[in-house]
Amino acid sequence: MPQSNTALVLIGLQELRRDRKSDYYLRNMEPLIERALYLVDYAREMGYKIIFIRHLEKEGEFSKDSNLSQIISDFEIQETDTIIEKYTISSFLHTNLEQELEGIENLVVAGMPTNLCVRMFVEEAYDRAFNIALIEDLCQTYNDKLQDFTLDDLNESRPDIDIIRLEKFID
């Protein structure tokens, strides 16, 4: 994918996903975070636009003021990065994401949960005619059955989406 018209979109990579005490904790987060950091470095080298999607709610762990709702601290957000804050499953609804994606044709997508926010983003981006690479080993949900179903269903219903492992994408 050419770099000037490509964006890396990281969805829901927030502290509450790796905090074992959180109701929203997801297993196997540390290896996923390591791979995601590698992808961010790669994207920076390639000149991709980097967009973090942060899910928020009016109260609780997802509230704007909660430390757990923050982007995972391992990601060193840079001035050139974009953070989109959303209050629904959709990353497009009531946000400025469409404006941020002007001039972008290709999307590299990773995040969580696969069956909710990632799936909604991918479906809405697909309907907007973006070329999409979904990095499957940088997506996570609450169990393997749900993860496999979601990826299989996306593959069946939208075969133009490139569902690919990080190693193969970077290769």
CATH code of residue 120 = 3.40.50.850
Quick check: is 106 in a domain? yes
The whole domain housing 79 covers 6-170
Q: How many domains does the chain have?
A: 1
57 Cβ contact list (under 8 Å, min separation 6): 63, 87
How would you classify the pairing of strands 131-139 and 106-111? parallel
Residue 63 identity: S
Quick check: is 107 in a domain? yes
Convert the pLDDT of each residue in 132-159 to its tens digit: 999 999 999 999 999 999 999 999 999 9
Convert the pLDDT of each residue in 45-93 to its tens digit: 999 999 999 999 999 999 999 999 999 999 999 999 999 999 999 999 9
Quick check: is 59 in a domain? yes
Quick check: is 1 in a domain? no
What does pTM read for this prediction? 0.96
Quick check: is 86 in a domain? yes
Quick check: is 41 in a domain? yes
Give every strand in the sheet of 131-139, ordered side by side.
82-86, 49-55, 6-11, 106-111, 131-139, 162-164
Q: What are phi and psi of 22, to 5 degrees?
A: -80, 145
Quick check: is 92 in a domain? yes
